[in-house]
Amino acid sequence: MSFDSGTVSFRLFYLQQAYTSSVVEDFARRAAPPIDTLDRDPISGWVSGRHLFDREITDEKCVAGPYLHVQLMKAENKIPPALLRAYQKQEEDIERKARDVEVLSRKARAEVKARVTAMLQPKMPPTLSSIPVVMDFRNDLLIAGALSDKQIDTLGPVFKETAGTFPILLTPETAAIRRKQINAKDLLPVMFSPDETIDPPVEGTLGMDFLTWLWFAWEKDGGVYHLPDGREFGIMLEGPVTFFREGQGAHEVALRNGVPLNSREAGTALSCGKKLKRVKVVMAQGDSVFSATMDADFAVRGLKLPKGEQDDEAGKLEERMMMVEFFWSAWLTLFDRFLDLRSDPRHWQKTLAKMHAWIASLAT
């Protein structure tokens, strides 16, 4: 997956210093080794955004306007599990006959597996994987296709070794501090259910609180908002949706068929103290339509962008990244509205009362 075509999935990271295109030289110094040097141990390093064999990292290839596009590539000789098991069982049968025993010891089986692995691994074609990365010099952001904890843990140290600073993952909590100087730990946990017998969560759930509020605000306000620069955009929410709540019983509930946001099951989930954890969001600005599945931790999955007009590689990448910027800017603008409301005790209590009534009506 890359950022220059198709749908994109990504997490945002704050950069701890401002960068310019001169950082290209740092990435070039840590380019991936040639693929023909791959042996038993994996190799990794940076390649251009064009393809995973392109080790030539230059301004011409990797910089488009205020964006730097590269990929963190990893290559390894992986043995398919089924193939390894088949060879291992075959060798174990031979070993048992040679030793004239019914069952091999654990040590003997381990020796067989090591021998089979050593035999097969050099014959395997390279398995390639990558984490696509775009540095946004204008907004001091890193946009990376790192969705899993493992990918995030891999990317951070390598980026620090390359660029000198550790990127800070943008989450509801880090965004609240950066954008509004609000510490999520200072906000009391909130319960949206009108059922007063349900205990509120022990810890704050800022991202799920935001998604649940956004659902309410979209239904009540019509879903039309404005960016700080005055541009108007609209939103709507769609299924499938996922609800979550820590506690006894079913912690997570997914609704997929029909129109789940209008279903009694959705109202029941909210009434039981669950909150929205994942939902599909559709945004429109003029004739341009964007859609993505949004997680409560602000992971963006499968963002579909409008069709662009640029044909050359650099122009196409810059155009697409400007579309991505519009999407996350609009998303964080909505989050700002929520934070302003959430940090105002008087207005927040009024909103909670309205949400209680709204949830009660959904559940009937």
13-36 pLDDT per residue, tens: 999 999 999 999 999 999 999 998
CA distance 260 to 240: 7
- Mean pLDDT across 217-230: 92
- Mean pLDDT across 219-228: 92
Same domain, 136 and 220: no
Q: Is the pLDDT of residue 248 over 70?
A: no
Percentage of the residues of the chain whose pLDDT score is greater than 70: 98
Q: Is the pLDDT of residue 245 over 70?
A: yes
- At 39 the pLDDT is 84
- At 293 the pLDDT is 97
Same domain, 229 and 184: yes
In a domain, 3, yes or no: no
Same domain, 114 and 213: no
- At 40 the pLDDT is 83
CA distance 52 to 68: 16
CB 138 within 8 A of CB 155: no
- Mean pLDDT across 241-265: 79
Domain extent, residue 219, equals 175-362
Q: Is the pLDDT of residue 250 over 70?
A: no
Average predicted confidence (pLDDT) for the chain: 92
Percentage of the residues of the chain whose pLDDT score is greater than 90: 76
In a domain, 1, yes or no: no
Q: Is the pLDDT of residue 120 over 80?
A: yes
Same domain, 112 and 209: no
Same domain, 140 and 114: no
Q: How many domains does the chain have?
A: 3
- Mean pLDDT across 276-297: 96
- At 247 the pLDDT is 66
Same domain, 131 and 274: no
* Of 224, 196, 172, 241, nearest in space to 353 by CA: 196
State the SS3 of 81-123. Answer: HHHHHHHHHHHHHHHHHHHCCCCCCHHHHHHHHHHHHHHHHHH
Same domain, 206 and 350: yes
- At 203 the pLDDT is 77
pTM for the structure as a whole: 0.90
Q: What is the pLDDT of residues 54-107, one digit of tens each?
A: 999 999 999 999 999 999 999 999 999 999 999 999 999 999 999 989 889 999
- At 257 the pLDDT is 76
Give the end of a domain, one of 170, 202, 233: 170
